[in-house]
Amino acid sequence: MALLTVENLQVNYGVIRALKGISFEVNEGEIVSLIGANGAGKTTTMQSIMGLIPIAGGTVTYEGNVINKVPAHKLVAMGISQVPEGRRIFQELTVYENLVLGAYTEKDKKEIKNRIDDVCTRFPRLGERLKQVGGTLSGGEQQMLAMGRALMNRPKLLMMDEPSMGLAPILVEQIFDIIKELHKGGATILLVEQNAQMALSCSDRAYVLETGEISLTGTGAELAASPEVKKAYLGG
Amino acid sequence: MSILFDGLSLGAIYALIALGYTMVYGIAKMLNFAHGDIIMVGAYSVFVVMQRAKSPTDAFLNVACGLLLSLFICTLFGVVMEKLAYKPLRGVTPIAVLITAIGVSYLLQSLAQIFFGAKPHSVSLPTLGTVTVAGAKVSLSSIVTLVVGAVIMALLTWFVSKTTTGRAMQAVSEDRGAAQMMGINVNKIISVTFAIGSALAAFAGLFYLLQIPTAEPTLGSMPGIKAFTAAVIGGIGSIPGAMIGGVLLGVIEKICLSIPVIAPYTTAVEFSLLIIILLVRPIGILGKKRREKV
């Protein structure tokens, strides 16, 4: 059984139908990508799964439970974490405080400390900057903090929204190396990306989203080789 | 010297009220214009206890009971007000919330009129007398207000920066959506904020009675507006800003009142200060502009 199953998901913004009934699933241990251009509905998909915007129709099932109406803070406690688009770290709080907030649903102080140690091992840059205020970090460091903060929840499902956005190519590679490492460690990741090439290179499976509908699906390699995808997203 | 102490203690009262405004603004992103009336609710709670208690021997016990009841009632009113009046308005235009808050303010004043009548009731609080500090006579109630106010503000600062709930408050204040993604129940944090703000108003209500021992339905309006001014001067949304703004306004008020020529214009001076701050530094003394990094 899939960890996350999305069936015929529909979301409206007023009269605009942002998602016109999309279906996909994420199995345990997989990296699944949703790729597509600006305005295709990628972030909307993430936000509606997370319970941050209301779902107009369809069902979202996580670990066998329908979670359509479950609010975000409960989903976090159920093991879903999101690395939001634009990172959205808490700029006025320190790196340490950001990380602690990532484990908000965990009450055991010792466990929180262990998790901080783990995150600092994975992201040594964060470890060096624990006392620094989030807003003073560079873009790449902020992305690492956003990822580290999400990992503090020890999520069963990690949803990442545009982790490469606004980063220099070398940092994009670093971020994707980390995603691959997480995958090797057994993490289940739902990735939303405009950078189709990078996303497809590390994905087990992927879906192409076009104006609120899924137009193509296949393994990462299949889609990377598909003429339509090449033409639309990979520059011929 | 005594002017300074009186000013500081009045400032502590304003600061306590201003904290309620600023915290609710920071976290719920709304101006709760009914906040001043919570002080009035607190003052009437103290009045009820002092009226029932007829044994002057235990004056301080009575005051303590009054404070406890006031804390309980104010917190209850604050939380219920938020649940009934403001929560259904999440996400609607701010002007609707603002109008609602003004409505809640009138509702509370009218309720007080219905239950206690429109005429002022004098509250028989024990008189504390004066002590001599550095050669000047200072009223003991000013010192009590100042000390207790300072302790409360220190506790609040600790609470917001060091506890899990306090950090969650900061997170909600900065980015509500991201806070939800951390597993923070935003509604709960907003309730907690209203509860804390109202409890602070309960203290402010008692201290206000120590200065002017009269409870009346519109008692909260003026200190409410002054404290709101203080919050804006200090930078709305900023906790230390509210403290600084409150103390500043209190001291200025007492200094103005002590100079016969200026005294009649005290309120004008205070609100002029607000206008000047808004012209020179619209975000207030400690207000922050959000930087965005792309």
Could B170 and A93 be called an inter-chain contact, meaning their C-beta atoms sit closer than 8 Å? yes
Q: In B204-238, which positions are buried (b, 16+ CB within 10 angstroms) versus exposed (e)?
A: bbbbbbbeebebbbbbbbebbbbbbbbbbbbbbbb
Run of H or E residues at B183: none
Q: Say which residue the tokens 């509370």 belong to.
A: B108
pLDDT-based confidence at residue B289 (cuts at 50, 70, 90): low
Q: List the single residue in A with minimal CA-CA distance to B177.
A: A52
Could A104 and B291 be called an inter-chain contact, meaning their C-beta atoms sit closer than 8 Å? no
Query: Reduced to 3 states, what is the DSSP secondary structure of residue A160?
Result: strand
Model confidence pLDDT, tens digit, residues A96-108 = 999 999 999 999 9
Interface test with A, best of B167, B181, B292 (most A CBs within 10 A): B181
Indicate if the pLDDT at residue B292 is higher than 80.
no
- Scan residues 113-172 of A and list those with Cβ closer than 8 Å to B: 135, 139, 142, 149-150, 153, 166
Please, which residues bridge with residue A193 across strands? Answer: A35
Q: List the single residue in A with minimal CA-CA distance to B293.
A: A139
What is the distance between the alpha carbons of residues B181 and B243, in angstroms, rounded to a whole number?
A: 31
Indicate if the pLDDT at residue B290 is higher than 90.
no
Tally of CA atoms within 13 A in the half-sphere of B137 that contains its CB:
3
How close, in Å, is residue A49 to chain B by CA atoms?
12
How close, in Å, is residue A113 to chain B by CA atoms?
14
Q: Is B171 on the interface with A (CB under 8 A)?
A: yes
Could A91 and B290 be called an inter-chain contact, meaning their C-beta atoms sit closer than 8 Å? yes
- How, if at all, do strands B130-133 and B136-139 pair? antiparallel
Could B182 and A93 be called an inter-chain contact, meaning their C-beta atoms sit closer than 8 Å? no
Nearest to B174 among A84, A91, A104 (CB): A91
Q: Is A81 on the interface with B (CB under 8 A)?
A: yes
Model confidence pLDDT, tens digit, residues B125-166 = 887 778 887 777 888 889 999 999 999 999 999 999 999 999
| 8 Å CB contact between B181 and B165 | no
CB atoms near residue A5 (< 10 Å):
18
| 8 Å CB contact between B165 and B189 | yes
- How, if at all, do strands A80-83 and B214-215 pair? unpaired
Q: Is A82 on the interface with B (CB under 8 A)?
A: yes
If you ran DSSP here, which 8-state letter would residue B120 be given?
Answer: -
Q: Is B29 on the interface with A (CB under 8 A)?
A: no
How close, in Å, is residue B234 to chain A by CA atoms?
18
Q: Whole-number mean pLDDT of chain B?
A: 92
Q: In B142-161, which positions are buried (b, 16+ CB within 10 angstroms) versus exposed (e)?
A: bbbbbebbeebbeebeeebe
What is the distance between the alpha carbons of residues A90 and B173, in angstroms, rounded to a whole number?
A: 10
Indicate the pTM of the whole model.
0.91
| 8 Å CB contact between B237 and B25 | yes
What is the distance between the alpha carbons of residues B282 and B274, in angstroms, rounded to a whole number?
A: 9
Indicate if the pLDDT at residue B293 is higher than 80.
no
Mean pLDDT of A127-156: 95
Cα B104 from chain centre? 16
Nearest to A76 among B174, B177, B182 (CB): B182
Model confidence pLDDT, tens digit, residues A69-126 = 999 999 999 999 999 999 999 999 999 999 999 999 999 999 999 999 999 999 999 9
Could A73 and B186 be called an inter-chain contact, meaning their C-beta atoms sit closer than 8 Å? yes
pLDDT at A235: 63
Model confidence pLDDT, tens digit, residues B28-43 = 999 999 999 999 999 9
Model confidence pLDDT, tens digit, residues B212-235 = 999 999 999 999 999 999 999 999
Apex CA A102: angle with CA A100 and CA A108, to 5°? 60
Q: Is B175 on the interface with A (CB under 8 A)?
A: yes
Could B293 and A135 be called an inter-chain contact, meaning their C-beta atoms sit closer than 8 Å? yes
Query: Reduced to 3 states, what is the DSSP secondary structure of residue A88?
Result: coil
Could A93 and B183 be called an inter-chain contact, meaning their C-beta atoms sit closer than 8 Å? no
Run of H or E residues at A55: none
